[in-house]
Chain A
Amino acid sequence: MKKTLIVLTIIAFATTSLFASGEKETSIQEGLTFSNWSGSEESSKEIFKWMIDSFNEDQSSENQVVQINWPWGDTESQLALRAQGKEQYDIAQIDIRMLPALASAGVLADLSDIFGESFFSDNFAPGSISVGNYNGVQYGVPWTVAPMGMIVNPQILKDSGVDFDIVTIADFEKAMEMVKNNHPANNDSDAGNDILPFAAMTKDGGTCAPDFMVWLWTFGASVFDENGNCVLDSEEAIETINWFKSLSDKGYIQGAMGRGDARTLYKEGRVAFYNDALLAKGAITNEAFGSIETYAKPQVNPVLNEGDTPKASGWGHLLVIIDRSPKKVEAKAFIEHLISEDVALKYFDEIGMLPSKKSVLNSNEVKNDYWSNSWTPILDGGRLAETAGQNYSAYNSIIVENLQAVLSGSKTSEKAAADMVSRIENL
Chain B
Amino acid sequence: MASAANSLRLCLRSCSQLPTMRAARPAILASSLCLRRALSTTPLRGAAAEETTFDEDEFLETKRYNNQGEVLADMLKREDLDDADRARVKDMLETWNKVPQDVRDQIDATTRQVRQSTAQIRYQVKPKKASFWNDDEKDTDMITDEVGEDDFEEDDILSIGHAKLEEHREAREYARIAVWEMPLLTKFARPFEPPTEAQPLRFRYTSYMGEFHPAERKVVVEFSPKDFPGLTEPQQLKLMKLAGPRYNPDKGLVKMSCERFEHQAQNKRYLGDLVQKMIATAQVSIPLGPCLCLDPTDMFEDVPLDTRHHKLTSKPRFPKEWRMSEERRAELESIRRTAFELDQKKQKSGRLVDGVKIIEKHLQNVPVMEDQPVMARRVGKQPARKR
- Is A bound to B? no
